[in-house]
Structure 1
């Protein structure tokens, strides 16, 4: 799971959030522990006994046995305290207050039962004796009403405080999860254990949606155990203080029976109805927006372009804005109150329930058992029964939650496999004339495959030169392109960039130096502007930059005729976003939405390809870009359009004085185009069999010459 042999302890970054005001620097947050032992314990808990190498499905319940108890203790010891410190540090005072208030709320039911018993006893005294005083009864009733009002206020205040703490913690863990997803590269995500760990980590993050949401338990929900324990202790204390003698014991047994009976009836079909938690239209729109952006972060389809075009920070900031808006909407809806809600907070029904026992007075006129004692017994016993049941359920959920917490801690420490260790990392070696590439005995086999896709690849491409990669389908051309783009690693050999091993260059820094068109380029259900602008998100708001990229890519020939020009929403049905209804979901605040209510416009394959080429040209002219790599960029274009695109590529790769400033690599199946390149690599069965200029390869009269003659 941990891709480095000794994973370093990393600090969680704290995103800005209006509900997360802090009095100390973010760097002072305690770090989460290294994932090595936590990862081993988490993985061992999923192992199926006597079936070596097989594991439980992600999210499956762990059996409660001695081995898993030890694994849970290891995870708790190694990461629980650090994680709680981080979460506590978001709102120190509110978090402390939350724990205190929950313990206090746990004690409240016992006092409520005692108060009710006093009122009932006073009513009994009124009927059975002449010592009754109205003033005392009125005083007890007023006291009870005030106590209930205070309970309602306390519960409302505690709920509001708890919501603030939960929302801040939830935003924090969700932010970390999305940020980590965006950091991870394709080779890392190909590991099945990594994917399982991320899936259970996601379940842990979802547990912060509320108390016991999704049948899960978050660290802050552990406060329920304290509240339930305090409630149980208070009721037991009441029962022990009142139980004495045969009459009291009989009342206790009667109360026990009346408390257990509803549970038996409930087991046979008496279920409570669920509250309506539907979203308002605005909340639904906000929820859809943040979920779409989160899906983009989790997408495997768009992973390559997200990495190469550096879309991670943009997606993260856009999701963060949408998520904050969602949490704000939820909090606003919870602050709404009306008179019926206030009456519910006062729990008037509990008082009426106690008064319903008055008819039983005649049964106890000759007994030392008072009606108030009976009511107190019944309430306390019933509370003990339900509290024990809730406590056991909570403990079981907590046991499973420990392993999800372990998955989260381990997932946050996963390092992208393509990232070099800090001690080996080098800055990108700049070269004013483009990027020099040297491949030495490169080989690569896809995970799970027996046959190598690349075998002993060797070539040298000097800075400023152009290279055409040609060959039959399945010869490894696109795989070599992925290696050159550093979206996948190679198994053996070397790849030097300006004389430096590419494995020592941080991928994010390297990707800033390249622009590309993937063979399977991404299509987004968004506007033309956004589909093109994602090639360089820093210029996404620049109308001039996008118009120029569209012109360079040849897309101006049809964009101008679209219903709303570059604001026309495009239909990319069949990809990650099959529905056009929620297209604004992937557009952060500040994006154009003039065409949001119009039907998405469909494009042909050639038109989509021009959009993809335009996206690459968004950054192709940048001075820091040294390599342009195009994988079949004109496969759906006619010969005229194809020549225009390659003319543009040649122009962009030169300075105003005509000097080559960028290295160009392109894959093509049209050999008439390949002859434009300085060098041609002929690939067969995963290796380069011929390398040289067009004229040199024709003179060799080998595979390239035969393929060329067959194509003309």
Structure 2
């Protein structure tokens, strides 16, 4: 029942509707504000770069990047470091140590070549001595390669845990955002850049750096300093300076060639079958979380935890396969760069040419390798720093997206717990409700008012585009209204948590989702807690009169249903562990029965108070329609025949609408007539005319 305060609220004039959905309102100078400021076009306030566009390197953005480093980056580093403190510390340490290897390698080669030159010049050269020198160099390289292999394996573990954390947090937050939040174009841009940040952990292809890759900047600086120190220690006299100049010229030549577009790429490894299947399942879960088409059913049927668990299982399967293959590929012998080693040995014949010179062959080799390494390292440092600068803003998008709050979710201090009516059903009071779709000038709903008592059935009828489905989405708390009030069981619906409210509702949407998965999973998504219960799935199928459809399929409930679009991607076994080689397509009417079965999975639960059906039988014949509505009526009543659930259905079939307790006739976004079938016929208005035309 409504309290006196509730009626006072309803009697007040509601505020005027905003022209467009409001943007999130984070605190001043928040990470969101900093991210948005970085996207603003120069001298065009209120206009923004396309998501993923590189920010200009200017003083204003440099200040923003500096602030973001303090506000966001350091905190995220702490979180990622906390996932594997020891391994992460070891990874960073080994990165710095490994950056010293090139300079040490050049110095070691120089010593060997100089010693070999001395032996030849002295006339005491022996092949055994040459063999010893070469063997010692190979041993050093083997130890270095073993350390590289260990460091790479350790880094794979650290990066994999970071990837899992970032993607899981992003997916977890994404599935909780509601339709009104996602309708904001700024929010969509924010989530797009947040997704780019998550993908940067895979490296390559995006021109971005993940936070763990920032340590490469320190490694490159260390490598440059070590090479410069080596060059300085070997430079002594005019001849050495000439060799140094020659080495610089020879080192810059490959860079000039690369500018002409000449490149050498290694072929990509082929993914194992198990890893490919897990990756496909993982991508399908991501699609469910991100797709606007599936958003209403994801929210209403509470699929968030199931999506996250399925994604995490597939992610771990793909990760274990990937890590094992990366360890196999990182064997010691495969990582020894024999071509570089042979390049060093090619300098040996020049010993005879330099016997009379004050310059040693070792100096020439060290100069050439160090200068080349410095030139490349400086180029890599510049490119890495540029990517790091851009990565800061994508990182800020990720951090800002974590602060987004679903617009339909009430504030903690305003939230109340849903309470069912004593005898079941739901009391619904709508007063002056209006709604305008974003970007539209004309409202889809205008001043909608009606009352529905617990256990009553309401039929919403009218012409196409009259606002019937929009009204249903507002009653289902999929979208919000701009003006008016909606009370459920005497409580303002805006004070109810949508996820809790949805647990007491089941529905068939007019544009229901079709999943390229088994029949069991297509039906079981209506009540995930009982998806693995074969009797529960079979019962829902029988209630929807879909048992004949299922029995005609090649593998019954385990048959994979083919769907158009994204979902045509074949995934053996669908979302579960039951694999089936059989695929089958369904007609429109057969798919509608599957969607009805999905709704019936939850409909008979005692805590479900409202059943909403949006054109649930539009593709069925008259006989099938009668059977379905007989079933709906049976489910909505107790064994003694007392109404215990409210039913709201939208239909064009007025012969079905007459079965409802109340009928709402909608025209151009308003309820023009409201009452029973008999009362509306006596009014001889729009409903009566529509009914007479349908007979």
Relative to the length of structure 2, the TM-score reads: 0.94
What pairs up with 1:506-655 in 2 under 5 angstroms? 506-573=497-564, 575-579=565-569, 581-582=570-571, 584=573, 586-588=574-576, 590=577, 592-593=578-579, 596-598=580-582, 600-655=583-638
SS at match of 1:577: helix
C-alpha change, 1:273 and 1:571, in structure 2 (3 Å) is closer
Query: Which of 41, 45, 49 is residue 42 of structure 2 equivalent to?
Result: 49
Q: Which residue pairs with 1:105 in the alignment? A: 98
SS at match of 1:682: strand
Q: CA deviation at 1:270?
A: 3.2
| Contact preservation (8 Å) 2:636, 2:647 | yes
Q: CA deviation at 1:709?
A: 2.0
Q: Determine if the alignment matches structure 1 residue 218 to structure 2 residue 210.
A: yes
Q: Which residue pairs with 1:10 in the alignment? A: none
Q: CA deviation at 1:238?
A: 0.8
| Contact preservation (8 Å) 1:2, 1:413 | no
Q: Which residue pairs with 2:147 in the alignment? A: 154
Q: Which residue pairs with 1:377 in the alignment? A: 367
| Contact preservation (8 Å) 2:274, 2:318 | no
Q: Determine if the alignment matches structure 1 residue 428 to structure 2 residue 428.
A: no
Query: Which of 450, 459, 462 is residue 459 of structure 1 equivalent to?
Result: 450
Q: Give the whole-Å Cα distance in 1 for the aligned partners of 2:247 and 2:87.
A: 39
Q: Determine if the alignment matches structure 1 residue 267 to structure 2 residue 259.
A: yes
Q: CA deviation at 1:570?
A: 1.8
Q: Which residue pairs with 2:236 in the alignment? A: 244
What pairs up with 1:149-228 in 2 under 5 angstroms? 149-210=142-203, 212=204, 214-228=206-220
Q: Which moved more, 1:258-267 or 1:269-278?
A: 269-278
C-alpha change, 1:53 and 1:399, in structure 2 (3 Å) is same
Q: Determine if the alignment matches structure 1 residue 78 to structure 2 residue 71.
A: yes
Structure 1 portions without partners, runs of 5+ = 8-34
Q: CA deviation at 1:346?
A: 3.0
Q: Give the whole-Å Cα distance in 2 for the aligned partners of 1:397 and 1:107.
A: 23
Query: Which of 493, 497, 501 is residue 502 of structure 1 equivalent to?
Result: 493
| Contact preservation (8 Å) 2:654, 2:694 | yes
Q: Which moved more, 1:264-273 or 1:533-542?
A: 264-273
Q: Which residue pairs with 2:8 in the alignment? A: none
Q: CA deviation at 1:322?
A: 0.6
SS at match of 2:100: helix
Q: Give the whole-Å Cα distance in 2 for the aligned partners of 1:667 and 1:711.
A: 16
Q: Give the whole-Å Cα distance in 1 for the aligned partners of 2:412 and 2:226.
A: 55
Question: Which string of whole-angstrom CA distances, capped at 9 and with x for unpartnered residues, describes residues 110-148 of structure 1?
Answer: 111111011100111122224668887666444423321
Q: Which moved more, 1:378-387 or 1:652-661?
A: 652-661
Q: Give the whole-Å Cα distance in 2 for the aligned partners of 1:510 and 1:426.
A: 11
Q: Give the whole-Å Cα distance in 1 for the aligned partners of 2:334 and 2:321.
A: 23
Relative to the length of structure 1, the TM-score reads: 0.91
Q: Give the whole-Å Cα distance in 2 for the aligned partners of 1:480 and 1:253.
A: 78
Structure 2 portions without partners, runs of 5+ = 1-20
Q: CA deviation at 1:610?
A: 1.2
Question: Which string of whole-angstrom CA distances, capped at 9 and with x for unpartnered residues, describes residues 10-52 of structure 1?
Answer: xxxxxxxxxxxxxxxxxxxxxxxxx962111211222222334
Q: Give the whole-Å Cα distance in 1 for the aligned partners of 2:209 and 2:532.
A: 42
C-alpha change, 1:269 and 1:603, in structure 2 (3 Å) is closer
Q: Which residue pairs with 2:693 in the alignment? A: 710
SS at match of 1:455: strand
Give the number of aligned pairs: 674
Q: Determine if the alignment matches structure 1 residue 232 to structure 2 residue 229.
A: no
SS at match of 1:635: coil
Q: Give the whole-Å Cα distance in 2 for the aligned partners of 1:267 and 1:635.
A: 63
SS at match of 1:215: coil
SS at match of 1:468: strand
Q: Determine if the alignment matches structure 1 residue 681 to structure 2 residue 664.
A: yes
SS at match of 1:406: helix
| Contact preservation (8 Å) 1:514, 1:628 | yes
C-alpha change, 1:576 and 1:624, in structure 2 (3 Å) is farther
| Contact preservation (8 Å) 1:107, 1:234 | yes
SS at match of 1:628: strand
| Contact preservation (8 Å) 2:561, 2:586 | yes
Q: Which residue pairs with 2:305 in the alignment? A: 313
C-alpha change, 1:424 and 1:463, in structure 2 (3 Å) is same
Query: Which of 108, 121, 129 is residue 122 of structure 2 equivalent to?
Result: 129
Q: Determine if the alignment matches structure 1 residue 348 to structure 2 residue 348.
A: no
| Contact preservation (8 Å) 2:149, 2:332 | no
Q: Give the whole-Å Cα distance in 2 for the aligned partners of 1:576 and 1:267.
A: 39
Q: Give the whole-Å Cα distance in 1 for the aligned partners of 2:101 and 2:651.
A: 76
Q: Which residue pairs with 1:276 in the alignment? A: 268
Q: Give the whole-Å Cα distance in 2 for the aligned partners of 1:539 and 1:269.
A: 58
Q: Give the whole-Å Cα distance in 2 for the aligned partners of 1:499 and 1:408.
A: 39
Q: Which residue pairs with 1:23 in the alignment? A: none
What pairs up with 1:389-408 in 2 under 5 angstroms? 389-408=379-398
Q: Which residue pairs with 1:670 in the alignment? A: 653
Q: CA deviation at 1:267?
A: 2.4
Q: CA deviation at 1:545?
A: 0.6
Question: Which string of whole-angstrom CA distances, capped at 9 and with x for unpartnered residues, describes residues 422-448 of structure 1?
Answer: 111111122132111010110000000
What pairs up with 1:651-662 in 2 under 5 angstroms? 651-662=634-645
| Contact preservation (8 Å) 1:119, 1:137 | no
| Contact preservation (8 Å) 2:23, 2:184 | no
| Contact preservation (8 Å) 1:208, 1:218 | yes
Question: Which string of whole-angstrom CA distances, capped at 9 and with x for unpartnered residues, describes residues 205-251 of structure 1?
Answer: 111114x5532210000111111111111111111112121111111
| Contact preservation (8 Å) 2:462, 2:667 | yes
Q: CA deviation at 1:283?
A: 2.3
Q: Give the whole-Å Cα distance in 2 for the aligned partners of 1:478 and 1:191.
A: 21
Q: Give the whole-Å Cα distance in 1 for the aligned partners of 2:29 and 2:22.
A: 7
SS at match of 1:351: helix
RMSD of aligned Cα (Å):
1.9
Q: Determine if the alignment matches structure 1 residue 118 to structure 2 residue 114.
A: no
Q: CA deviation at 1:582?
A: 2.7
| Contact preservation (8 Å) 1:3, 1:416 | no
Q: Which residue pairs with 1:299 in the alignment? A: 291
Q: CA deviation at 1:566?
A: 1.8
| Contact preservation (8 Å) 1:429, 1:500 | no
SS at match of 2:372: helix
Q: CA deviation at 1:665?
A: 0.8
Q: Which moved more, 1:125-134 or 1:46-55?
A: 125-134
Q: Which residue pairs with 2:675 in the alignment? A: 692
Q: Which residue pairs with 1:330 in the alignment? A: 322
Q: Give the whole-Å Cα distance in 2 for the aligned partners of 1:215 and 1:389.
A: 15
| Contact preservation (8 Å) 1:301, 1:522 | yes
| Contact preservation (8 Å) 2:224, 2:374 | yes
C-alpha change, 1:254 and 1:344, in structure 2 (3 Å) is farther
Q: Which residue pairs with 1:39 in the alignment? A: 32
